Amino acid sequence: MRFRKLKKQSKTSKEKTLKPNDLFEYATIVDRIKAFITDMFMIYVPILYVLAYVVMDGKDDFQASVWAPLSGVVLYGLIYAVMLHKYGQTPGKKAYNVKVVDAKTGKNVTFVQAVLRFASFLFSATILLGLIVPFYRKDKRSLHDLMANTVVLAC
């Protein structure tokens, strides 16, 4: 076979192979935002209510405490990480048919990945840059998705 034909054949075989990322159907940014808001009302607000009115003596004690809001965020992060690890979804993500998976394997994330994703979400939401990143990426991955090596898919 001539060299040109071999070179042409190798180019076409490279073009035909798909990466695992090409097989994913990415969730829209709107669905991700709606799922986040739903999770806030279904998980985080009840946690804050229980902390303020059951554990403490009311909203004034809750607001005066430094540890109460921090413990609410930590508790929410643990619940969030367990749900992502076990099911790949939180109630909000399930309502909008969104799932968080490992970017390389497409399987559920590990618990460490889920905790890292939550912690890096807090960081990226604080600097706001991480929340703008998906508008400029084809795969719609945010900064916290890149840091935890996860991807948000439409199911």
Tens-digit pLDDT profile for residues 42-85: 999 999 999 999 999 888 998 899 899 999 999 999 999 999 99
What share of the chain in percent tops pLDDT 70? Answer: 85
Average pLDDT of span 82-99: 95
pLDDT number for residue 12 = 53
pLDDT number for residue 17 = 37
- Read off the pLDDT band of 138 (50, 70, 90): confident
Average pLDDT of span 16-29: 64
Transcribe the chain into DSSP letters.
--HHHHHHHHHHHHHHPPPGGGG--BPPHHHHHHHHHHHIIIIIHHHHHHIIIIISSSHHHHHH-SHHHHHHHHHHHHHHHHHHHHTS--HHHHHTTEEEEETTT-SBPPHHHHHHHHHHHHHHHHHSHHHHGGGG-TT---HHHHHHTEEEEE-
pLDDT number for residue 130 = 84
